[in-house]
Amino acid sequence: AIHLTIQGVEVTVEEGTTVLEAARKAGIRIPTLCYHPDLKPFGSCGLCVCKQEGSAKIIRACSAPAAEGMKIITHDNELFEVRKTILELVMSTHPASCLTCVRNNKCELQKLCVEYGIREQPFEERIPDLPKDKSTGTIVLDPSKCIKCGRCVQVCQSLQGVYALEFIGRGDSTLMTPAASLPLNDSPCIKCGQCATHCPVGAIYELDEGGTFLHEASKSEKVVAVQIAPAVRVALGEEFGFKAGEITTGKIYTALKRLGADYVFDTNFGADMTIMEEGSELVKRVSEGGVLPQLTSCCPGWIEYVTKYYPDLIENLSSAKSPMMMQGAITKTYWAEKMGIDPANVYSVAIMPCTAKKIEIKRDEHMKSSGYDDVDLVLTTRELARIIRQRGIDFASLPETEVDSPIGEYSGAGTIFGVTGGVMEAAIRTAYNAITGKDLSDPDIMTVRGRGEFRHGAIDVDGKATLRFGVVHGMANAKEVLDEIRNAKARGERAPYEFIEIMACRGGCIAGGGQPLGTDDEIRSKRTSGSYTDDKNCAKRCSHQNPSVQKIYSEFFEAPLSEKAHHLLHTSYKE
Ligand code: HC1
Ligand code: SF4
């Protein structure tokens, strides 16, 4: 352990802790703009400068390691002036259009300008006039607002291994841009939105389609059916004063009805359906010698990545559609038929933690399996929060309501999809039953849980089979295992796994690119606990035990992998 003094406060920290982290532990906040706990410090903004007693040297707290006996000064008049000048310089090239900015009230630069009492601009203003890039239809780049902190580039390159964003130019004329200065949509971008959640200002954000929803939902001929994703229920509350991880499912259903939804369904039901199909597909591949390992396909960020970087592994992807797409297809077929509603009038909307989901609904391999757009619109969690506020709904005081039947009820397995390892755990619960005819005595499968970036192991299925699994989260972490699969293939062998779950975002969808801002590991862990609590609170913990799932098979699909199931619940992917 290391003992040091920060601004007169004594603090003890572990070896390897930075001065910035030590200060936070001592209850002292050093301002930063480029630093983010998910990323390696790279000291570009200079705001975290501190002094050491008895030394003329200025240190950068974000990257300086804490050392025994250090006496750090984090705040004094001189440091205040230095930081204020840095902020004024940043402001001299940043448009002060706060009122119309998507980040108004949530901007880290704005907060610091308030804190440092910036009232005037002593430097000559040189606001760049650069066009917005809306080419992806989901993530908007506004380079004129970029403060060159470098977080997005680091997120894209190091966390995600994608290299869609880069810096060009030097010094004053540095510019954040899509790779090769192409439109973002022509770059390798996987639309995960992690750049947007890590941007401290309003330079990268989600395309806002809340208005489209309100407009369409007000049309009298439309029957509006909305589904909510697993991860939304443990995060939306943060926008309205609830703690991260607090489950607000019943209030979200109510809010959606007040916003114009005629029916509210749950993507968790779709997740149970995905497990039925994907689990059966796995058992079939194993027993009939199909392509293995089977890779999950519910994360559209990962689908963008694999189709761009590892097209030779497309054959390993499960053909089962994502829960969202299954739910959409079922809404416009089974449900519409049952209700006697013309599917042409059904407006199918999905509330997702994810910016890539806006692209998934437009992939022409599967967008119209019902004969219509299976999902018409995706709104992210942040967009939903915005329209709840716009319509004057006091979310915190809303009564809780129930989901609509019969394509809304879900099992605990469905709700943990939003957490890294959740799809694997849900699949094992049902595969165990398919292989042994019995249910697990304890559905909590701790071996697949955790935060490890690439977790793997083997599950013994009651002595009848062994399932070698892998779980990856954070796109860059997939490279190791994907190369292993690729190299094994090249040798005419196969990598030693049956099933691998891959989620593009660190922590899984609970930390998706469309979730409330400010995500760090502490918030990830709270949202994760919320998801496991929701699982525990469910009457049924396994997808195959969900009575509504059993009903839809007996009334409509007959069995997993049936012809009808193939048509509506499965897909294939192109490069
Ligand atoms: Fe996800 Fe999924 S878990 S992909 O992260 O398989 O977005 O929440 O909805 O479809 O269920 C996202 C979350 C979500 C799908 C499910
Ligand atoms: Fe979207 Fe979830 Fe994939 Fe992130 S992990 S890209 S939120 S589906």
Q: Give the pLDDT of residue 341.
A: 98
Distance, in Å, from the CA atom of 65 to the CA atom of 408, rounded to the nearest integer, reads 51
Check which CATH number belongs to the domain holding 435 and give it: 3.40.50.1780
119 located within any domain: no
Chunked into runs of 10 residues, the chain (575 residues) has average pLDDT values of: 97 97 97 96 93 92 96 97 97 95 97 96 92 97 95 97 92 86 96 98 98 97 98 98 98 98 98 98 95 98 97 98 98 98 98 98 92 98 98 98 97 98 97 95 96 96 94 98 98 97 98 97 98 98 98 98 98 93
Q: Are residues 158 and 300 in the same domain?
A: no
Question: Which residues span the domain enclosing 71?
Answer: 2-75
For residue 263 the two structure tokens come to 């029916």
Q: Name the residue of 247, 252, 322 whose CB sits within 8 Å of the most ligand 1 atoms, as the mutation to test its pocket.
A: 322
Q: Give the pLDDT of residue 346.
A: 98
> Which ligand neighbours the alpha carbon of 229 most closely?
1
Q: Give the pLDDT of residue 311.
A: 97
Check which CATH number belongs to the domain holding 26 and give it: 3.10.20.740
Q: Give the pLDDT of residue 171.
A: 77
**ipTM field:** 0.96
100 located within any domain: no
Distance, in Å, from the CA atom of 545 to the CA atom of 90, rounded to the nearest integer, reads 57
* Domain tally, the chain: 3
241 located within any domain: yes
Q: Give the pLDDT of residue 154.
A: 96
359 located within any domain: yes
Q: Are residues 156 and 270 in the same domain?
A: no
Q: Give the pLDDT of residue 175.
A: 84
Query: Is residue 365 annotated as part of the catalytic site, yes or no?
Result: yes
User: Looking at 75, 108, 136, which one is the last position of a domain?
Assistant: 75
Q: Are residues 308 and 394 in the same domain?
A: yes
102 located within any domain: no
Q: Are residues 241 and 297 in the same domain?
A: yes
Q: Give the pLDDT of residue 432.
A: 95
Q: Which atom of ligand 2 is nearest to the CA of 357?
A: 1
Q: Give the pLDDT of residue 466.
A: 94
Q: Are residues 163 and 293 in the same domain?
A: no
For residue 573 the two structure tokens come to 């992917």
CA-to-CA separations, 227 to 87, 119, 186, 349, 392, in angstroms, rounded: 43, 46, 30, 6, 22
Q: Give the pLDDT of residue 113.
A: 97
User: Looking at 190, 206, 222, which one is the last position of a domain?
Assistant: 206
Predicted model pTM: 0.97
* CB-ligand 1 contact for 230 (6 Å cutoff): yes
Distance of CA 420 from the midpoint of ligand 1 (Å): 11
Q: Are residues 452 and 543 in the same domain?
A: yes
Q: Which atom of ligand 2 is nearest to the CA of 190?
A: 6
Q: Would you report the helix, strand and coil content of the chain in percent, each value rounded to 5?
A: 45, 15, 45
* CB-ligand 1 contact for 470 (6 Å cutoff): no
Helices (H) and strands (E) in the chain, counts: 19, 17
Active-site pick, 34, 107, 156, 298: 298
